[in-house]
Structure formats: C-alpha cells, structure tokens
Amino acid sequence: MSREQQAVERARTAFLTGRSKPLDYRIGQLKALQRCITERQKDISDALKKDLNKSEIGTPLYETLGLEGEIMLAVNKLAQWAAPRPVEKNLLTLSDQVFIQPQPLGVVLVIGAWNYPWAVTLQPLIGVIAAGNAAIVKPSEVSVHSSKVMEEILPLYLDKVTPPPPPCPVWSDCERDVPVVTGGVSETQELLRQRFDHIVYTGNSSVGKLVMEAAARHLTPVTLELGGKSPCYIDKQCDITIACRRITWGKFTNCGQTCIAPDYILCEPSLQDRVVEEIRKNVKEFYSDDPKSCVDYGRIINQRHFRRVMALVEGSTIALGGENDESLSYIAPTVLRDVKPDAKVMQEEIFGPVLPIVTVSGVDEAIRFINEREKPLALYVFSPDNKLIRRIIDETSSGGVLANDCLVHFSVSALPFGGVGNSGMGCYHGRHSFDQFSHLRGCLLKSLAMEGVNKMRYPPHTAKKLGWARFFILQQVDLGFLGRMAALAVLAVIAAVMLQRYLQ
C-alpha cells in the first residue's frame, strides 16, 4: 500500500469513529489550527520568505490574518450553521417536521496552491473541519519550504484535542483526521486515484480538468478555484489617480502571483498615457526606485515560471519596467502598452508582475471584449457611474465583481468566493465553506396519525381526489409569520377533518 493510500485509510478510519462530528471536537480542532497559525508565525514567515520573498509583515497581512478571522467566525457561528434549518411547508405537511440537516461528507482532499501556500490551503480546510469532515491536506510542492513546514507543524496541533470524545476514548497515531501528504505530480496522481467524498483544488484550468476527470471515476464532487484573465475596465469619468493607485497595489502584490489580480486593463486610448504615468508614480512610492532591493516586493516562485512570464512579454511594447534577473527570479513591475488582443500575453493568465493595457472605444467594446473570452474569476470596473457598474454586472459573467478597488472582496467572509465556467466551480468562505463541505440533507418527519387525509393519494384516483390534493399541496405556509402560521394550522386541521369524513 502506498503512502498516499495509507494516509487516506487513516483519515477514513478516523472519520468512521465519528469523533470529528461533535461540535465541541470541531471547535477544538479549529482553535488548535488558530494556535498553530499564531504560535508558528515565524516558521511560516521564514518559509514564505524563502519561497516568494514575502516580508515579515506581508505574511500576516496576505496569508494568515484572514485565516484567523475565518476561524473566529466559524467557531462563533458553528452551532448556528450546524443546526437543523426549518423550511416552508404546505398544508399537507403543516403538522410535520420539515427541515434541512447539514451533515459531514466524509473525507475531503484539499490540494493547495503555491502562490499563497497557507491562505489558499488552510482557507478551505477551515470549512472542511467546521463541517465535521476528515481531510487530506496536499500542499503544493512548488512552494517547497512552506510545504515542508506545513507537513511538520500541522500534525503537532491537529488531532491533539483532549480529552477525546466518545465513542473513541483513545486513538492511535495511525488514525488522523488531517494527515498532510507532500510530494510532486506522482504523489498527487496517486492521491487522485483514491476515493474521496469531496475534492478541493486551487490552481490552473489544465490541472483542474485532470482533477475533475479523476474525481468522475468515483462520482466525487469537486470545488475548483482556477483563476483566469481577470479584466479591469477604467471608465474615463473616474478618478484616474485613485484608480491606478489601487490597481498598482492589486496587480503587483505578491509579484503579480494572485489568482484574482487584475490581469489586463481595458481603457480608451486617451487614458493610456495617464494610466502608465500614474502606475509609474505608485510603483516608485510602494517599492522605491529599486523594487529589486525593496523588502515588500516579492519574487517569482521559481525560474521555470520566470521564463514563462518573460516569454509572454515578447512582442509587446514595454511602457514601464521590464528589468529582470533570472538568477533571482526577479521581474520588475512592468506595464505593456498598445497590446493587441492576439498578443502572446493575452492568451493565458499571466500570473506575474506584467500588466497589459488594451485600448477600447468605450464600455460597449469593453463588454464585448470580456464576453468573447473565458469567464474570469474576478472582474474589476473603476467608475463613479453606478448605472455603468450595474450594466457591466448585468451584461458579463465572472466569479466575482469588484467596483473601484482590487482584491478586497476576497476578505469578505459573507461573500462566496469561487469561479464560473473556465475559472472554476463551487465556492467557499464563511458559511459558504460550511455548506460547500456539508451534505444538506432534506428531512421530513411525519406522525402516523390522520391517515384518512392520505386517501387522496391512494388509488383508485378520481378527479375529486386530485382537486383536494391540488388545494393542500399548492397552499404554501410562510413560517416567518407566526400569526399566519397559527391561523393556517387551525384551518388545516379543520380541512383535514372534513376531508377525512368526505373520503370515508
């Protein structure tokens, strides 16, 4: 049996004990994860420095602070999220219990990404644990140091909640709710051969298709976060200075290696020079005259990706930046002007500090341009005109929309984060994470009384029985208004008695 098979078996065995289901245990695991994040902040920060040249302050700001907030939310709201959820009834079910009961799915595979190795790996894991599941965590092998640290520290905190809940008074180290499996492509492929109850993958669409294909063999549902080329339309009426300041931050944070970074700008030709100059000013303010020596400016994850990004620049006109150093995987903040729709840089997600500007005649052409391409994970529009913003929302499709800023919608736990079409499927964050990794089980509990009412559904079928059935089934009851509910309950009882006499 392979190491990957053993890990899955351990997680499955642990889940089948039932120990991950009690809310107290889930809360204990979540709090343990929070302790891991806070107590091992230096280990996490050192690993990110080696992987992506992230600064000591950048680690909590872009990786762990959001995780702590998600954990606190889950801990505070878990009892509410996990409680039975009453639903509307019709007259036939007025005296019954009709509700949705969230239940754990089982064992969930979480395949993380390298650009934010902690945030995008542990963010869904929070929802997986909150929903009562076991999990296999597969960090990306590309972020080598973060993967190693995650493998070392997560087992020191998770599965260590004491005292163990019944029915498992003790458990051995071979049974773990959240084993971490490291390795490269072959290890990931071996994991994908196993049966899971859900798979979460963050990465590119090519690998996403392979994950979905592997999941299909076991009819396993998937959540895919796949990124894409997120457009950024700048309306000529907006404050260009503020718009470019926010775009500069959103694009060059993490050296452009952000799945929801603005991938390219759409604007009218008259704005292009101004946009370039404003971005130039902001790059200097944020990263100094020499971004290469700036502690807050990152690096491309490795030389393979460095060469990939530099190849995308070929054939385009550099308006700003362009300096690079392959030995350090360094690419300066770079802006390309007068980029043609068929340019190399427009054919795939850039995932680097290169920002193309494509000129369009106005919002009509911008909408057509966006709709002619794959649906992006994020869509940005900068405009003071709410009607224009609403029009772009109504006439385009994307995972999310953000007006007059970049990236920050990711920080709102109440918003579902996920893609559509080529940018992914499924979503998470806050309660959306809990629901994504739960089975929302429909439940109806009836009594054995008033059997006479059921005669309308039993053969022999008649037009009169159909009429009564139509009346009872089509009358919806809004349980939000207690007075109306009580009145309808009385009417239902009276109608049921009359119907029972009639059918007899």
Domain containing residue 354: CATH number: 3.40.309.10
Q: In DSSP terms, which residues pair with 107 in a beta bridge?
A: 134
Same domain, 184 and 236: no
User: What is the mean pLDDT of the segment spanning 283-306?
Assistant: 97
323 to 319, 320, 333, 464: CA distances (angstroms): 12, 9, 8, 82
Q: pLDDT of 163-184, one tens digit each?
A: 444 444 333 444 677 899 999 9
Q: In DSSP terms, which residues pair with 199 in a beta bridge?
A: 109, 222
pLDDT in the model for residue 164: 45
Q: pLDDT of 379-405, one tens digit each?
A: 999 999 999 999 999 999 999 999 999
Same domain, 267 and 382: yes
pLDDT in the model for residue 495: 58
Tokens of 59: 């680690």
In a domain, 300, yes or no: yes
**Rounded Cα distance, 157 and 40, in Å:** 11
User: What is the mean pLDDT of the segment spanning 28-52?
Assistant: 97
8 Å CB contact between 115 and 225: no
8 Å CB contact between 200 and 105: no
User: What is the mean pLDDT of the segment spanning 106-133?
Assistant: 97
8 Å CB contact between 154 and 180: yes
Residue count (the chain) = 504
* Element spanning 498, H or E: helix 482-503
Same domain, 175 and 206: yes
Helices 3-16 and 185-192 pack at an angle, to 10 degrees, of: 40
pLDDT in the model for residue 14: 93
In a domain, 7, yes or no: yes
Same domain, 287 and 152: no
pLDDT band at 300 (very low <50, low <70, confident <90, very high): very high
Percentage of the chain modeled with pLDDT above 70:
91
Residue 207 CB coordination number (10 Å): 17
Q: In DSSP terms, which residues pair with 494 in a beta bridge?
A: none
The answer on pLDDT for 471 being more than 90 is: no
Place of tokens 């775009």: 247
The answer on pLDDT for 117 being more than 70 is: yes
Pick the range with the lowest mean pLDDT from 63-72, 329-338, 430-439, 445-454.
445-454
130 to 16, 21, 35, 327: CA distances (angstroms): 17, 9, 16, 43
In a domain, 479, yes or no: yes
Between 167 and 68, whose confidence is greater? 68
Tokens of 337: 């002007």
Long-range (24+ apart) CB contacts under 8 A made by 282-290 are 282/244, 282/245, 282/248, 282/249, 283/248, 283/252, 283/320, 283/321, 283/333, 286/248, 286/249, 286/252, 287/252, 287/333
pLDDT in the model for residue 168: 43
Pick the range with the lowest mean pLDDT from 58-72, 371-385, 435-449, 482-496.
482-496
**Rounded Cα distance, 255 and 287, in Å:** 11
In a domain, 365, yes or no: yes
Q: In DSSP terms, which residues pair with 30 in a beta bridge?
A: none
User: What is the mean pLDDT of the segment spanning 143-153?
Assistant: 97
Enter the DSSP assignment of 171: -
Q: pLDDT of 12-37, one tens digit each?
A: 999 999 999 999 999 999 999 999 99
pLDDT band at 95 (very low <50, low <70, confident <90, very high): confident
Same domain, 268 and 306: yes
Same domain, 334 and 202: no
Same domain, 298 and 245: yes
DSSP per-residue letters across 54-82: --TTHHIIIIIHHHHHHHHHHHHHHHHHH
- SS3 at position 400: strand
Beta strands in 345-478 (DSSP E): 354-359, 378-382, 400-403, 424-425, 438-445, 476-477
Average pLDDT, the chain: 92
In a domain, 186, yes or no: yes
Place of tokens 């009417």: 491
Alpha helices in 131-263 (DSSP H): 144-157, 185-192, 205-216, 240-252
pLDDT in the model for residue 451: 84
The answer on pLDDT for 93 being more than 60 is: yes
pLDDT in the model for residue 499: 57
Q: Which domain holds residue 220?
A: 3-226+429-439
Same domain, 192 and 330: no
Pick the range with the lowest mean pLDDT from 114-118, 127-131, 499-503.
499-503
pLDDT in the model for residue 160: 66
8 Å CB contact between 381 and 403: yes
| C-alpha gyration radius of the chain | 27
* Element spanning 46, H or E: helix 41-52
Between 95 and 107, whose confidence is greater? 107
**Rounded Cα distance, 129 and 437, in Å:** 9
pLDDT band at 92 (very low <50, low <70, confident <90, very high): confident
pLDDT in the model for residue 33: 97
Same domain, 24 and 163: yes
The answer on pLDDT for 343 being more than 90 is: yes
Same domain, 203 and 177: yes
Active site residue 4: no
Tokens of 311: 């190849």
Between 232 and 454, whose confidence is greater? 232
Task: Output the pTM of the full model.
Answer: 0.91
Angle, vertex CA 349, rays to CA 52 and CA 262, nearest 5: 80
pLDDT band at 162 (very low <50, low <70, confident <90, very high): very low
Number of compact structural domains in the chain: 3
pLDDT in the model for residue 477: 53
In a domain, 419, yes or no: no
pLDDT in the model for residue 1: 83
Same domain, 128 and 54: yes
The answer on pLDDT for 81 being more than 50 is: yes
Residues whose CB falls within 8 Å of the CB of residue 293, separated by 6 or more in sequence, listed in order: none
The answer on pLDDT for 478 being more than 90 is: no
pLDDT band at 475 (very low <50, low <70, confident <90, very high): low
**Rounded Cα distance, 24 and 175, in Å:** 19
Active site residue 259: yes
**Rounded Cα distance, 290 and 23, in Å:** 51
User: What is the mean pLDDT of the segment spanning 424-433?
Assistant: 96
* Element spanning 483, H or E: helix 482-503
User: What is the mean pLDDT of the segment spanning 253-280?
Assistant: 98
Q: pLDDT of 212-265, one tens digit each?
A: 999 999 999 999 999 999 999 999 999 999 999 999 999 999 999 999 999 999
Same domain, 287 and 188: no
**Rounded Cα distance, 461 and 77, in Å:** 48
Q: Which residues of 127-162 are buried (b: 16+ CB within 10 A; e: fewer)?
A: bbbbbbbbbbbbbbebbbbbbbbbbebbbebbbebe
In a domain, 214, yes or no: yes
pLDDT in the model for residue 501: 57
Residues whose CB falls within 8 Å of the CB of residue 250, separated by 6 or more in sequence, listed in order: 258, 261, 262, 380, 405, 406, 407
* Element spanning 265, H or E: strand 264-267
Between 491 and 335, whose confidence is greater? 335
- Identified catalytic residue from 36, 244, 255, 259: 259
Residue type, 186: S
In a domain, 423, yes or no: no
- Identified catalytic residue from 225, 232, 255, 427: 225
pLDDT in the model for residue 450: 80
